[in-house]
Structure formats: C-alpha cells, structure tokens
Amino acid sequence: MAVDASRARLRLWLRLLATTNELERVLRRRMRAQFGTTLPRFDVMAALERAPGGLSMSELSRHLMVTNGNTTTLVGAMERDGLVQRTVSPSDRRSFSVVLTPAGRARFERMAAVHARWVSELLAGVEVADAERLSRGLHEARQAIRANAGELSGAGGR
C-alpha cells in the first residue's frame, strides 16, 4: 500500500523533531554536568570560533536563530565570565562586534572535543553510510524548504 506523500512528510518532520529534542536533552544534561555550562553558551562559542574576526550581535543572533534580546543576555553573561569580548564597531558606534577571548577559545576547544565525542557515541548505532545518506537527504530537505517557503507563505500556514 502506497503511503500518502503528505503523511510521509509529516512523519518525517515529527521524527526529525523528536530526534533533535532527544539529542539536545542528553547534550544539555551532559554539558551542565561536565562543564557547568549550557548548550546555548556552547553554541555562541561555536559560532564565534568559526568567525575569528568576530560577529556583530545581529549576525550572531542569525547564526543562533534566536532574538537579539536573547543574544544580548547570553553575551553579557559570557562577557562577565571572561569568555567573550564586545567592542564597538568603528563603522557604526551603535553596533558591537563579539569575539572569543583567549580563555573562551581554550574553553571552547576543550568542550568541542568532548561534544563531538558525545554526538558520535550517541549516534553510534547509525551506520556510516546511512549517516551520510541521511545527511545528504536533510541537506536537500533544507534546500527544498528554503525554496518553497516563499511560494507557500500565506497559503494556509501559521
């Protein structure tokens, strides 16, 4: 019996959501237990590590997919802890650039190695070839979402 396309895509979305939530739950708990930090702080450091020249607060918010207010709160706390530094943009005095401090970079490097090991261990039951296929499929799904989001906005969506 053929599966309805709409039902199959809805099932895919629900499984992606459930898998992501489960993985994040475990990673959040481990990050707190081993490093005394949160996954959002780790995500800030990861984004900044990939941008050695720093990111504006708006760019950082886009990378994290959170509001500017959430980013401001996170960065402020991390700055007080000596993990990041904010500097005023020379081109726009109202804008800040955020960079990892040397202490923040060292801490991130330690956490990133352990985080990568955790993810690998948690997904160890997935064969490498299947992981590669799933990764490619998810990339294609993301591209399709981006392509279709504009056409479908306002068409019965939320």
Percent of the chain exceeding pLDDT 90 equals 75
Sketch the domain layout of the chain as residue ranges.
10-124
Alpha carbons within 13 A on the beta-carbon side of 70: 13
Residue 31: count other Cβ atoms within 10 Å of its Cβ: 21
Give the CATH number of domain 10-124; options: 2.40.10.220, 3.40.190.10, 1.10.10.10, 3.60.15.10. Answer: 1.10.10.10
Contact indicator for 19, 74 with CB cutoff of 8 Å: no
pLDDT of residue 101: 96
Average pLDDT over residues 58-64: 91
Helix (H) or strand (E) holding 84: strand 84-88
